[in-house]
Structure 1
Amino acid sequence: MGNRYYYYIIAGTMTANIVAFVPRILINSRMEGMVVAILIGSFIGMGLIYSYTTLMSKFPGKSYADILYEYTPRWFAVFFTLFTASAWFTSGFIFLMGFTFIAKRFINPEASLTSIVLLFLLPLLYGCVMDSKRLLYATEMMLVLIFPILIIIFIKAYTSGNLHWTTMKIPIVNAGHIPAYFTIAAAGYTYDGVMNLAQFNKVFTKKIKIKRGIYITMGIIGILNLVTASFIPIGINGIDGVASINYPWILTSDSFRIELGFFERIFFPFLLLFMAVAILVILHHWHVSYKFLNYALQFPNFTYKGKEVVPYLILTAFLAITLLGVQRIDEIFLFILEKWWFVIVQPLVICHAIVLYFMYRRAKKCGSLS
């Protein structure tokens, strides 16, 4: 497959985080080093993108699980495969809960959370079992349709008469503060879509080559993405008013108007577009989780009428955990969970890259790599 599909994996996560929890965490630190957090998080994120992509490209056509089982002891391979699957399921689960609450609040307040999450679960569970290549084709089709509209919306945001540039300068004045760790981690999480390469690398049978110009462009886009996600709501709602908004970009988008056919209020198309991107990102995360679980839990004799039972058990577990979670978790607890997830996930991603590096060293020592 072409290298462009690799960029779609990263772009999807970057885009979805504009509406999710990243802007709120950054905005809460607007007077406490938000600008520095964006720069440090971007530096760490781009470093991980480069190192992880470079190392995975040494094993074209192989998933992370394939590499684990080939170059590490089986007990460690099973443990780390389950560990990765659990982490990526949790990431998708938190995204799903967040956008379920958003759908209930802004689209259909009368609907129950369970009914809303069930609507999301149907395409998600189907996407888990899809072929990785077909999922990337679907990703391309969706992002190609969505990105032009999003660019128009962002241009409208930066040219809006309601945007107060003076207010946006206040976080820059306070850039001398040392940011909290979880703020840096939230900024860095924007780049963690590269971790989906753990499974999708299987479809890249040739080495992924990132040209220097494209790599620099990715870093610039990532920083602009974080700046847009945090500064625009501040410029529209005010340095104090933005503090009380749970989903800054959703309410911010309602202050824009656009003369484009039947579009006038940006709010609804913006919300629907980002929910589509969110579903796509959750699909990526759960697809990786499902494939890894299916890889680790291989029981050849565990069949029913000639069919393997484990895949159905995995999907049932995804369904059960999600339905239980939507009944027990509220928005306040979800935000706390997301905040701590950012604290935990960056060390996990770094650990993932370190293990990959040692597997690369072992493969090179064994002469398995050219």
Structure 2
Amino acid sequence: MNRYVFYILWESILTIGLLFVNRHLLDDRFNGSIAAMLISAVIGTLFLIIFSKSLERFPNQGLPEILAQYFPKWISACLLCIFSILLLSEGCLILGGLSAIINRFLLPNLQLTSIFVLFFLVVAWGASRSSKTVLSTLEITLVICTPVFYFLFFKLLFSPGVEWNAIKEMRDYVFIAPKWSNITEASSTFSGFVGLTIFNRTIPSKMKGWFIALVILLGLHTLAMNFFMPIGFLGTMGVEDFVNPGISTIDSIRFELGLFERAIFVFLLVFLMFALMYSMITMHVGIELLQGCFSQKMLSSNRKAQIFKWVVLSFIAILTGLYFYIFTEKSIMEKSIYWLEFRFVTEFLLVATVSFLAFRKGRRP
């Protein structure tokens, strides 16, 4: 097992849940969210096993190379375009959501647009680097930030401010049938495997059984933490009064000793690193998939490839900036449900396509 595969999946688990999934699941906490988390773990396990086993038949190849072997150019280009739009939009939505959080809690006097542009420049530069550079940066980020993240988690867990009775009340809603939207939302926590469509060129995607079990346990742990901790601190009814219940929960704890009294400042710095890194990964994979739609002659030189990447990323960033300018944050959170459902359908299409091609290759003499 290559450690970078674990890093890619782990980064997705730590990041995506807090920005979008946390709010939606808490909104439906009495309508099947707990069951949705359990079902999403099963779906995530199936997707991860099928996709990783399928990629083992295509060593050192990315999705563009795999599709080019079996499909006509126009079909391959259409599929790559769909998958790249999913990833590029995900990266920009993460940047927009992160900018709104930083603007509210850390830099209220700075315009949201300025924060977004700054984050975009950092992420776009990183996303335009090579896959090896992106993976090395990911490793450094996780090694530095993960210990701090889990220190804050245990600080929350053992805080006297946790109302365990509020958490215990949720036992009455475990067996309520979930909505389809809740399942698709929760399953996005396990969607980090999509990054292997490009990183399979650089690292082997082979996974052992214990590794898959570890990833699923980490995903369930993160979902449970993001779901139950806000309820424990803010109450079963009070949690709905907050736009970012997860962030507000972190703001409930204090450091008695240290440079910062409010834990939220430390958490936001750590989460900033996680979110920027995850956005960098999704944009890198998205732009590499989009490049696969064009012939190698069009992007033959490194200069042409870099110009292409910056033009595409800038165009997506402008659309995202306009989106966040026109709509309120609450409206964006409500509309993100449709994007999460689109993401689930697209990932199912990706897994089905790659597994079908792997099956065809296995039947060849």
Tell me the TM-score normalized by structure 2: 0.94
Output aligned runs, 1:244-259, within 5 Å.
244-259=241-256
Q: Which residue of 1 aligns with 2:152?
A: 153
Q: Which residue of 2 aligns with 1:272?
A: 269
| Aligned residue identity for 1:326 | F
Once the two structures are TM-superposed, the CA of residue 345 in structure 1 deviates from its matched residue by 1.3
Q: Match for residue 323 of structure 1?
A: 321
1:355 matched to which residue of 2?
353
Match in the other structure for 1:91: 90
- The answer to whether the 8 A contact 1:92-1:281 is kept is yes
2:69 is aligned with 1:44: no
Report how far residue 48 of structure 1 moved.
0.9
Q: Counterpart of 1:261 in 2: which secondary structure?
A: coil
In structure 2, relative to structure 1, the CA distance for the partners of 1:302 and 1:57 (3 Å cut) is: closer
Q: Is the 8 A contact 2:83 2:289 kept in 1?
A: yes
Distance 1:307 1:23, change over 3 A: closer
Q: Deviations over 1:341-365 (max 9, x none)?
A: 1222112111110000111122223
Aligned to 2:230: 233
1:60-101 superposed Cα distances (whole Å, 9 cap, x missing partner):
211111101112221110110111111111111221111111
**Letter of the structure 1 residue corresponding to residue 333 of structure 2:** F
Rounded to whole Å, the distance in 2 between the matches of 1:83 and 1:186 is: 19
Deviation at 1:209, TM superposition (A): 3.1
Q: Residues 307 and 209 (structure 1 numbering): CA distance in 2 closer, same or farther, change over 3 Å?
A: closer
The residue identity in structure 2 corresponding to 1:128 is: A
Change (3 A) 1:26 1:86: same
Q: Is the 8 A contact 1:32 1:177 kept in 2?
A: yes
Query: 1:20 offset after TM fit, Å?
Result: 0.6
Structure 1 letter corresponding to 2:236: I
AA at the equivalent of 1:315: L
* Percent identity of paired positions between Structure 1 and Structure 2: 27
Q: Which residue of 1 aligns with 2:137?
A: 138
Pair 339,319 (structure 1): closer, same or farther in 2 beyond 3 Å = closer
Partner of 1:365: 363
Aligned to 1:111: 110
The separation in 2 between residues aligned to 1:99 and 1:74, in whole angstroms, is 37
Q: Which residue of 1 aligns with 2:180?
A: 181
The one-letter amino acid paired with 1:270 is F
| Counterpart code for 1:3 | N
CA contact (8 A) 1:98 1:334 kept: no
After superposition, the Cα gap between the structure-2 partners of 1:46 and 1:301, relative to the gap in structure 1 and judged at 3 Å, is closer
Q: Report the AA paired with residue 8 of structure 1.
A: Y
Displacement after TM superposition at 1:259 (Å): 4.3
Structure 1 residue ranges without an equivalent (≥5): none
Paired position in structure 2 for 1:343: 341
1:151 and 1:302 map into 2 onto residues whose CA distance is 43
1:24 maps to 2:23: yes
* C-alpha distance in structure 2 between counterparts of 1:225 and 1:36, whole Å: 15
Deviation at 1:339, TM superposition (A): 1.1
1:89-122, CA deviations, whole angstroms, 9 ceiling, x for partnerless residues? 1111221111111111111122112111111011
What CA distance in whole angstroms lies between the structure 2 residues aligned with 1:161 and 1:317? 48
Distance in 2 between residues matched to 1:34 and 1:246, nearest whole Å: 18
1:231-281 deviations in Å (ceiling 9; x for gaps) = 000000000100111111111011112345324321111111112101111
Residue 198 of structure 1 deviates from its aligned partner by: 0.7
Given that residues 9 and 215 in structure 2 are in contact (C-alpha distance below 8 angstroms), is that contact kept between their aligned partners in structure 1? no
Equivalence for 2:258: 261
1:35 aligned residue: 34
Q: Do structure 1's residue 289 and structure 2's residue 289 form an aligned pair? A: no
Number of equivalences: 364
1:6-27 Cα deviation digits (max 9, x unpaired): 0010111110134211111111
Q: 1:299 to 1:233 in 2, by over 3 A?
A: same
Paired residue type of 2:7: Y
Judging changes above 3 Å, is the alpha-carbon distance between structure 1 residues 230 and 312 closer, same or farther for their aligned structure 2 residues?
closer
Distance 1:286 1:177, change over 3 A: same
Distance 1:13 1:307, change over 3 A: closer
Q: Which residue identity lines up with residue 357 of structure 2 in the other structure?
A: M
- Letter paired with 1:279: L
* 1:266-306 residue CA offsets vs partner (Å, 9 max, x unmatched): 111111111210111111111111111122133736899x8
2:72 is aligned to: 73
* Structure 1 counterpart of 2:243, one-letter code: N
Q: Deviations over 1:161-183 (max 9, x none)?
A: 01011100122211221111111
Instruction: Determine the C-alpha separation between the residues in 1 that align with 2:299 and 2:349.
Output: 33
Q: Distance in 1 between matches of 2:215 and 2:293?
A: 34
RMSD, aligned α-carbons: 2.0
Structure 2: give runs of 5+ residues left out of the alignment.
Answer: none
* Structure-1 separation of matches of 2:170 and 2:124: 42
Change (3 A) 1:18 1:315: closer
